[in-house]
Structure 1
Amino acid sequence: MARLPRPRLTDSVLLSTPVVVLLAAYALPAAVKRTLAYHPAEPTVLGLLANAVVHFTPTHLVASLVGYAVLAPLCWYLCVHRARRPGVFRAVHVGVCLLVPPAAALAELPLAWNALTYGFSPVVTAYVGFLPLAATLAITVRCDRVRLDHAPVYFLGGLALAAAAVGRNDPTALPVAGVAALLAAPYALSLARALPRDFLAHAVDVPPVAALGVFAVAPLVAYPADPVVGDGAVVNLYSHFVGYALGFLVPYVAIRIARADTPVVEATATDVTSEASNDVSNADTDVTTAETA
């Protein structure tokens, strides 16, 4: 049985740092954590920057850690070992962890909610948004007919699933699900035409396809039918959507601009030896030809 690759030291530090920070922040006194939380009606710089590390209950903390532990390593594997784009993952990871939480908090300013906003959910949902993009980059390596242009089908499909999930409790979200599904249809048809006929027959164990299965379930978890949880807290569906949208749209646009969807093929010792042997062989042929002449 093949062993899963281990991350390099750089990636290990990047992946483990959020876990360490969340655990350390959870150990802080409740009064301190309240100062780190974000209040849209009375915003502070500290709350804007630190609200993502705040968790008041073990259930909330475990949910954040489990979501992160599933999604972040999976995106890492797809980008680094399948798509051969380590730089893409590292840039997205830093951006998701440092920039998405304050961006989601700023997006709540016009709402001026009289409630505390906190938790790692915007980062987790940002990884939900990035997951199909990472899977698409990985699939393009194995199937050159699939392009990054097909990735919006997953974003729009996930949006339709999320809106349908919210619609179980709030029917006003159902039109959003319908519009997102209609917008996803042309991308879905294009993707269906691009895939070879035998793709699914040989893709059962392909990690990118499994990742898309995880992605299909994630909206149902991130957008529960009843957003009210214990102790009167309410799941912030708005920040979940902001994180999801930023996690997909920002990397997608950046990759399109940078044209970074081409895999990086690192030269190995075997490649160098093979090239050197070819050069020697070509040189011998030239010499033989010259002697014959």
Structure 2
Amino acid sequence: MTRSTLREDLLAGARPLDAVVLAAPSIALVAVFLLPEPTRRSLAFEYSAPTLTTAFTAHYVHLSAEHFLANLAGYSLLAGVGYALAVAGRHRRFFLASLATFCLGFPPVLSALNLAVPRHAVGFGFSGVNMALVGLLPLLLAVYAREHFSASAPTRALPAVFFVLVGWIGFLALPTSLTGFGVAGLSVAVAGVLLGATYALTSAGGGPSIRQWFREIRDRAGHGDLFAVGVVLLVAYPVIGFPAEPTVDGSVVNLYVHLLGFCLAFIGPYVVLVAGVFDE
């Protein structure tokens, strides 16, 4: 394992052109938001009259400043932290390929999968892509941890984290109580934790103990701080993406597309990561 500083790792691994790639989605979001509102509405995805063009463009459309600024800030934070983890974890190409897939390939796929739930509605917003970046975070944290904290950290145990996070999302999005339909939220949360624990116990090797992990993270100034920021973001962002009350100002938050973005962004890149396609 290297003992370079975080700044040295970022300077050594980053490339000037990466700034253009990272900024491109933000520029697209701003450009679309500056269009007249009728034009923006015409670019939204109507479930009753879907087109291939709007299946893509809808994910870059925002009708209110609040929605636009929230997604722009969310993308900037998620992409920035994700890029830093990837560069310092020597998986820069893996991150950039995933980002390009999320921004170019995911919009039409998510729109098409939305048609599986028939309804008269209009879909728009970048939230599904942002949730895809959240789904990628566990993988980036894992390769970063292997590089700087423990080379024996088990990448194949990552589905355990995925199950726990799905449980956390279910707890946030579904009603939670001990009676009636509210049992669903608690049931999903408990099931996620149990599945995650079971998978971790059956797949993890002889890696470091949790106490050793905390000690290593605490003692690695810079590297430990970035890891902690990534973990906090991974746990906290779903609170925004899966609100308990999905109705906001007459619009309904599309929890379905958020979940799809999160799950697809974990599953596909996980297979690629385990296969070692982007090892550097």
Relative to the length of structure 2, the TM-score reads 0.86
Partner residue of 2:31 out of 24, 37, 40: 24
**Which protein shows a greater Rg?**
1
Per-residue displacement from partner, 1:133-181 (whole Å, max 9, x unpaired)? 1000111113111121122122211111110011237633443333222
Per-residue displacement from partner, 1:236-271 (whole Å, max 9, x unpaired)? 0000001101111110012223x2474x2xxxxxxx
Cα distance in 1 between the residues matched to 2:100 and 2:37 = 27
**Does 2:145 align with 1:139?**
yes
What residue number does 1:277 align with? none
Cα distance in 2 between the residues matched to 1:260 and 1:79 = 15
Contact 1:39 1:113 in 2 (8 A): no
Once the two structures are overlaid, the 10-residue window that deviates more, 83-92 or 178-187, is 178-187
Alignment root-mean-square deviation, CA: 2.1
User: Do the aligned partners of residues 40 and 188 (structure 1) sit closer, same or farther apart at CA in structure 2, a change above 3 Å counting?
Assistant: same
**Does 2:267 align with 1:254?**
no
SS at match of 2:153: coil
What residue number does 2:15 align with? 8
User: Do the aligned partners of residues 175 and 2 (structure 1) sit closer, same or farther apart at CA in structure 2, a change above 3 Å counting?
Assistant: closer
Cα distance in 2 between the residues matched to 1:200 and 1:110 = 44
Identity of aligned residues (%): 29
**Does 2:65 align with 1:65?**
no
The alpha carbon displacement at 1:3 in A equals 5.0
2:82 counterpart letter in structure 1: C
Per-residue displacement from partner, 1:45-103 (whole Å, max 9, x unpaired)? 1111111110000110111011111111111111112x112210111010011111211
2:163 counterpart letter in structure 1: L
**Does 2:127 align with 1:121?**
yes
More relative contact order, 1 or 2 (CA 8 Å, 6+ apart) = 2
SS at match of 2:271: helix
Once the two structures are overlaid, the 10-residue window that deviates more, 1-10 or 115-124, is 1-10
User: Do the aligned partners of residues 249 and 168 (structure 1) sit closer, same or farther apart at CA in structure 2, a change above 3 Å counting?
Assistant: same
What residue number does 1:223 align with? 242
What residue number does 1:238 align with? 256
**Runs ≥4 in structure 1, deviation > 3 angstroms?**
1-7, 187-193
2:273 counterpart letter in structure 1: I
2:164 counterpart letter in structure 1: G
Q: Which runs of 5+ in 2 are unaligned?
A: none
Contact 1:132 1:215 in 2 (8 A): yes
**Does 2:203 align with 1:184?**
no
**Does 2:207 align with 1:194?**
yes
2:117 counterpart letter in structure 1: L
Partner residue of 1:112 out of 88, 107, 118: 118
What residue number does 1:281 align with? none
User: Do the aligned partners of residues 250 and 217 (structure 1) sit closer, same or farther apart at CA in structure 2, a change above 3 Å counting?
Assistant: same
Q: Which runs of 5+ in 1 are unaligned?
A: 265-293
Cα distance in 2 between the residues matched to 1:2 and 1:252 = 25
Once the two structures are overlaid, the 10-residue window that deviates more, 138-147 or 52-61, is 138-147
Cα distance in 1 between the residues matched to 2:92 and 2:137 = 14
1:18 counterpart letter in structure 2: P
Contact 2:94 2:278 in 1 (8 A): no
Relative to the length of structure 1, the TM-score reads 0.82
